Amino acid sequence: MLTWNVTYHCKPGQRDEFYNALCALGIRANSLTEAGNVKYDYFFAAEAPDDLLLVETWTDPALQKAHCETEIFARLQELKAQYCDSVAIDKFND
């Protein structure tokens, strides 16, 4: 199992717009249908109003890598460029 905690550090005041854009894109729903995806959930940081946390879990690192090569993932990169200042990723293997 592979779990990534992805913290999106959004531009000031842009977190909700970024989240709404992610929902409109359907990235969560799409990701949950991909082979090997176990979890793909977003969380709002109580103490950091511009941060959005994504926790994603995959059964196999190769399947997560395949996710990163999809068209919808490429569209996510465009949204990140528009709404985020930076992204931090913590990776955990079970």
Q: Residue 70: give the domain boundaries.
A: 10-50+58-93
Residue 3 inside a domain? The answer is no
Strands (DSSP E) found in the chain: 2-10, 37-44, 51-58, 84-93
Overall number of domains in the chain: 1
CATH code for position 22? 3.30.70.100
Compute the Cα dihedral for 24, 8, 6, 45 and give only its sign: negative
Residue 76 lies in a domain: yes
CB 52 within 8 A of CB 10: yes
Q: Return the number of other C-beta atoms located less than 10 Å from residue 29's C-beta.
A: 11
pTM of the full structure: 0.94
Cα R_g (the chain), whole angstroms: 13
pLDDT in tens, the chain (94 residues): 999 999 999 999 999 999 999 999 999 999 999 999 999 999 998 999 999 999 999 999 999 999 999 999 999 999 999 999 999 999 998 7
